[in-house]
Amino acid sequence: MGGGLAFVGLSIGIGLLVAGAAYGIGKLAAAAMEGIARQPEAAGNIRGAAIVLAALIEGFTFFALIVLIIALFVLKIN
């Protein structure tokens, strides 16, 4: 019984992780576009910072996703 609940919990965790990352990157892109619209001469700096921040968000997301998938396989074996 505990294994089934763990699978449900991990599945919900994966869903929340992906949704949170998508929300974060969406907010980042919206803020970057607003900043570029307000100050077009800073577009290069804003775009560069946005790309780096999006890469950091995706890197954390992939790391957490891999940890959750490994946890799923470990629970499946036991």
Q: What are phi and psi of 39, to 5 degrees?
A: -140, 80
pTM exceeds cut of 0.75 = yes
Contact criterion met (CB below 8 Å) for 50 and 32: yes
Give residue 5's pLDDT band: very low, low, confident or very high (50, 70, 90).
confident
Contact criterion met (CB below 8 Å) for 42 and 36: yes
**Domain assignments of the chain as residue spans, ordered by start:** 2-77
Q: Which residues contact 47 (CB under 8 A, 6 or more apart)?
A: 32, 36
Express each pLDDT in 38-54 by its tens digit: 999 999 999 999 999 99
Task: For domain 2-77, give the fold.
Answer: F1FO ATP Synthase (1.20.20)
Task: Summarize the confidence of residues 22-47 as an average pLDDT.
Answer: 95
Q: In this predicted structure, what is the pLDDT of residue 71?
A: 84
